[in-house]
Amino acid sequence: MDPITDIFRTMHVTAFGLHRLEATAPWGVKQENQAEEKVTSSGKKTSPTDLAHFAMLSRGNCWLSVEGIAEPIPLTGGDCFLLAKGTSIVLRDSPRTRPKWSFSEIGARANGNVALCGGGGAPTTIVCGSLSFDRASLKPITQLLPSFILMKADEARTLALHNTVQALALEMAEQAPGSEVVATRLAEVLFIQVLRAHIASGPERNKGWLRAVFDPQVGTALSAIHDRVNSPWTVESLAEAAGMSRSAFAARFKELLGQTPLEYVTEWRMQKAMQLLQQRDKKLIDVARLVGYESDAAFSKAFKRVVGANPGEYLKRGYQNRGHV
């Protein structure tokens, strides 16, 4: 199993705060760094497991300013971007317009799922929303996305992505029975399609976890970990799978992922364990063995060290709160 497939099968992405922003010039909206918990227009609190925000320009033109990028980016109909949590942006009709509102303020006064702002001039329509994992996210997941991904409408590889966002917009507009369920499924598809398009845009744009996945040697070791998470992995055995010396492999792995090989193995084992525990149909020892531990005591100790709660506490607290521990 390749690591990306394993990520998608283990984690479940859900959408919330979906709305359509109808802006008329002059207008400007800012999204501050989201380190702090906030409440969306749907009443859902953002949390450490919130993954990203997405937006697609479905009508008009605007300018996007992204923290860390010097020049503002012009957007036209069909352009789509995905923003990792913690990155600040400004959307506006002109680079000269000062932003008067925040996205949270706009969302709070939305009528249903339609938010209005601006001075009554040229119209712009933007489909917005947030994506989150529905259970606790550990380091390998939070490293998955670059801070900012932009897909232009004229890029052929983004056709499927645009179709998905349009389908999301349609569900939001109609609010038919089952729309919330359909939107959640479309959000997961959207997340996968954004990553695919980003990966296809060129290896030079991949960073962190994605760069490691596509590294010829470290990527081989990651594939081995995700394919056989319950194997008794050591740095030596992983280095052998990568075809490298132990020291060179350990240094390269740490350079790409910011953690040691065995830290990554342990965290992914705990991620798989959280999935298995929430199924509620396995004994603790069975979960332990499925993720590479011979005893439930050793597994429980590692689980508490990584997750911050023992398995029983996690099920009592985390399951009731959608896995937020």
Phi, psi of 207 (to 5 degrees): -135, 165
What is the domain partition of the chain in residue ranges?
3-201, 215-318
Higher pLDDT: 92 or 46? It is: 92
Give the per-residue pLDDT at 323.
Answer: 38
Cα separations (Å) of 152 from 44, 149, 155, 195, 217?
Answer: 30, 10, 6, 14, 32
At 40 the pLDDT is 38
Q: What's the mean per-residue pLDDT of the chain?
A: 82
pLDDT attached to residue 141: 56
Of the candidates 186, 152, 189, the one whose C-alpha atom is nearest the C-alpha of residue 167 is 186
Q: How much is the pTM?
A: 0.70
- What is residue 140's predicted lDDT score, i.e. its pLDDT? 53
When the candidates are 3.40.980.10, 3.90.1150.10, 2.60.120.10, 3.40.605.10, the CATH number that belongs to 3-201 is 2.60.120.10
Q: What is the DSSP string of 166-211?
A: HHHHHHHHH--TTHHHHHHHHHHHHHHHHHHHHHHT-GGG--HHHH
> What pLDDT does 47 receive?
47
What is the rounded radius of gyration, in angstroms, for the C-alpha atoms of the chain? 21
Closest CA to 273 of 294, 288, 252: 288
Q: Tens of pLDDT along 287-324?
A: 999 999 999 999 999 999 998 899 999 888 754 444 33
Q: Looking at the predicted structure, is the pLDDT value of residue 54 above 50?
A: yes
Sign of CA dihedral 200, 226, 258, 47: positive
Residue 238 confidence (pLDDT):
98
Greater model confidence, 171 or 118: 118
In terms of Cα–Cα distance, which of 259, 266, 139, 279 is closest to 251? Answer: 259
CATH of domain 215-318: 1.10.10.60
pLDDT in tens, 217-267: 999 999 999 999 999 999 999 999 999 999 999 999 999 988 999 999 999
Residue 325's pLDDT band (boundaries 50, 70, 90)?
very low
φ/ψ of residue 19, rounded to 5: -160, 165
Query: Residue 97 pLDDT more than 70?
Result: yes
296-299 CB contacts, 8 Å cutoff, 24+ apart: 299/273
What residue ranges in 34-102 does DSSP mark as E strands? 50-59, 61-66, 73-76, 80-84, 89-92, 101-102
Could you check whether 3-201 and 215-318 share the same CATH topology?
no
Return all residues near 274 (Cβ < 8 A) that are at least 6 apart: 135, 136, 307, 314, 318, 323
How far is 82 from 314, CA to CA, in rounded Å? 31
